[in-house]
Amino acid sequence: MAWLYLFIAGLFEWGWPVGLKLGVTDNGLHWGWILFAVFCMTASGVLLLIAQKTLPIGTAYAVWTGIGAVGTFVLGILVFGEPATLARMFFVSLIVVGIVGLKLASD
């Protein structure tokens, strides 16, 4: 169950960078997006707290940030039109390998 909480926490990690990006623009602050970011930060942190009750803290933190980083990377490409170069894809795939490796090494 801890891995499920950790996975969901990682999904909430996608929300706060997106909320901040959309919440602070040249046209000023958009409080709805900023509140969305704060909600995602809180939900992500609470779920990480629950997950690390049984998972090693280093593993939980690495997987949590990895899921957040990879998901945000993908959203950047799909939603914000960021470049999807071969080099960027290669290096983010190394993060995915690390996440999978930590999961396999923890069983």
Q: What is the pLDDT of residues 8-19, one digit of tens each?
A: 999 999 999 999
Rounded CA-CA distance 67/9 in Å is: 9
Can you give the pTM of this predicted structure?
A: 0.88
* Average model confidence (pLDDT) across the chain: 95
Cα dihedral: 28, 34, 35, 39 (round 10): 180
Its sign, for the CA torsion 92, 44, 3, 102, is: positive
The per-residue pLDDT for 106 is 84
Beta strands, E only, the chain: 24-25, 28-29
CA 19 to chain centre: 13
Task: Write down the pLDDT at residue 53.
Answer: 96
On the question of pLDDT at 95 being above 80, the answer is yes
**Which sequence spans correspond to the domains of the chain?**
2-106
